[in-house]
Amino acid sequence: MLMSVLNNARLIEKLSKTPPIRQAARLTVYLLSRLERGGREAAERLRERTDAPRRLDELSKKVAHLRDTWAKELKGAKEASGQKKQK
């Protein structure tokens, strides 16, 4: 019985124009688009979390380089100051 109703193209066409079916279709499209957007946002948050360790590693390398450079500059300034005192 159900198969004969589903195979009737004219009946399906008429039902698709009724307000309850149209409303159900709109609701379905809304929910699917909302779920898709939520999935994209969740994937983006996950991607940001997995990038964090890599960014921390890069940041620690930059800080170490800055520390080393600053230490060399400070050492050079002390040596220059010591040479000026000797003269």
In three-state form (DSSP H/G/I as H, E/B as E, the rest C), the secondary structure along 36-86 is HHHHHHHHHHHHHHHHHHHHHHHHHHHHHHHHHHHHHHHHHHHHHHHHHHH
Q: pLDDT tens digits, residue range 30-39?
A: 999 999 999 9
Q: At what angle do helices 9-16 and 19-86 cross, to 10 degrees?
A: 60
Greater model confidence, 68 or 56: 68
Average pLDDT, the chain: 87
Helix H or strand E encompassing 87: none
Give the whole-angstrom CA distance, residue 87 versus residue 77.
Answer: 16
Q: pLDDT tens digits, residue range 39-64?
A: 999 999 988 888 777 777 888 899 99
Give domain limits for the chain. Answer: 2-86
Q: Give this prediction's pTM.
A: 0.48
Both tokens of 68, joined, read: 């080393």
Q: pLDDT tens digits, residue range 71-82?
A: 998 888 888 777
